[in-house]
Amino acid sequence: MKKKFTERIIFLSSIILLIYVIFKSGLIFESALKQHFHIYLTISISITILSFLLFYINQKIKTYIYIFCISILISFYAFEFYLTFINTIPEQWGWGNINEKKRIYKKETGRNFDERSKIEILNDLKKENINTTLMVSPGWYYVNQEQKEILPLSGISNQNTIANNENGYYMVYKSDRYGFNNPDIEWDKQDTELLVIGDSYAHGLSVNRPNDISSILRTLSNKSLINLGYSGNGPLMSYASLREYFPRGVKKVFWLYFEGNDLEDLKKELKDPILSKYLLDNNYTQNLMLKQKTINSKSEQLLQKNLEKISNINHHQRGELRVSITNFVKLFQLRRMFIILPKSRAKFNIHPFDEESFKKIFFKINNFIENNGAKLYFVYLPNYPRYKFKDYRNYLNEIKTIVENFNVKFIDINEEVFLKEKDPLSLYPFKYENHYTREAYEKIANIIFESLN
């Protein structure tokens, strides 16, 4: 009985591993990991069979197998240690080799990559201007299930607002009177001819004015433009923003739709009790234009509450290290390198296309815009995995059909911009999965401007 103790432990462990693989790959992720499932399943079944055969193999051969397996395991973890803690540890600005980013940035700009955390740059900039804050996304409220009497749709107003660092420098902009990324003077103009809605791409992450899409469009068109886009917005929040902040004289509205997460965001937004009211009641309003002081106060409270979470220093010490160790045990980087798991969670649309909900919100947005004497333009923004992995699943055709059935202009940025590039990944900072580069935003703005004519 004692002689078989090791074999029993190994066999039991292999059974647990097999059950775990079947459960996690087959049930939790459903179709998202389907094409990788057979690899995990084959490996786990092979281990289970081998562990069973150990009961019947003589001791000498068994010893050789143990030595071989332990040697392989040590080699795997040695390589994983190098990949995780020396070469490609996840940084605050996204996946990638930070040393490579610093080298490229220095070579291209002659400047040093800004390695400060958000808290460090906040403290530094506050020494120059006390009216400085970190970006507070409206999505924080419903994602964190905050108890709220109002749901802000913008950030803190009239502040130098620090966003993120994907290009080697931090995005910092002066928010307008309602907390959006606009020159405040735009709200004083008699008529606002152009309007932009959407998520972080409309917001302008991660470039500074005047290199965001809205700023470039102002220059190209020589027309007044207000940007209601904000990081984390989905279709329903964009609709709510239209209802709350629609300015006078708008002739054209550009909805910057991002294929990477807008459908997933919509699914979350539909569960929010306040956002749902905009769908159910065409007269519902929070009167947010009159409540900016309250929005500022609530946002500052939420910011202070989450300061430790968004502090990259604390996050690195308490969060990223924990995640790195967990991933280390699971050989995350090694599997990532050999494509035994998706290199990006955004590679797959694991949520089915809720066509009914999308049609409903699209109808609401288009109807509202038309009733206000304006015209909608639907700008379809592509996602990084489309070019990195080639097998990215999306709902472009389905969405295009819906949009064109409403006789709305569909602008396909994948076709008009990215596919015309020799290397589409060059339109992403350092070719990593981030927001677009300044050059990409300029090309997109030019395509949108051409549609005006």
78 in a domain, yes or no?
no
Strand pairing report for 194-198 and 225-227: parallel
Please report the pLDDT score of residue 87 as a whole number. 54
Strand runs (DSSP E) across 61-143, as ranges?
132-134
Residue 352's Cβ-side half-sphere holds a number of Cα atoms within 13 Å equal to: 5
What residues make up the domain containing 404? 118-310+351-452
Q: 16-37 in b/e burial notation, b at 16+ Cβ within 10 A?
A: ebbeebeeebeeeeeebbeebb
335 in a domain, yes or no?
no
Give the chain's domain count: 1
52 in a domain, yes or no?
no
Tens-binned pLDDT, residue by residue, of the chain (453 aa): 455 778 888 888 888 888 887 776 655 444 444 555 677 778 888 888 888 888 888 888 888 888 988 898 899 888 888 776 655 444 433 445 677 788 889 999 999 999 888 889 999 999 999 999 999 998 888 665 555 789 999 999 999 999 999 999 999 999 999 999 999 999 999 889 999 999 999 999 999 999 999 999 999 999 999 999 999 999 999 999 999 999 999 999 999 999 999 999 999 999 999 999 999 999 999 999 999 999 999 999 989 887 766 664 444 444 444 556 777 777 777 776 665 444 444 444 455 788 999 999 999 999 999 999 999 999 999 999 889 876 566 799 999 999 999 999 999 999 999 999 999 999 999 988 889 999 999 999 999 999 987
Please report the pLDDT score of residue 343 as a whole number. 44
The Cα 199–Cα 259 span in angstroms is: 11
Cis, bond preceding 429 (omega within 30 deg of 0): no
45 in a domain, yes or no?
no
282 in a domain, yes or no?
yes
371 in a domain, yes or no?
yes
Tell me the pTM: 0.78
Give the domain CATH number at 166: 3.40.50.1110
The Cα 162–Cα 208 span in angstroms is: 10
The Cα 360–Cα 355 span in angstroms is: 8
Lookup result for tokens 């080697």 = 168
H/E run at residue 358: helix 355-371
334 to 195, 329, 390, 393: CA distances (angstroms): 46, 11, 21, 24
178 in a domain, yes or no?
yes
97 in a domain, yes or no?
no
Q: 425-440 in b/e burial notation, b at 16+ Cβ within 10 A?
A: eebbbbbbbbbbbbeb
> What does residue 157 show for φ and ψ, rounded to 5 degrees?
-85, 155
Strand runs (DSSP E) across 234-331, as ranges?
252-258
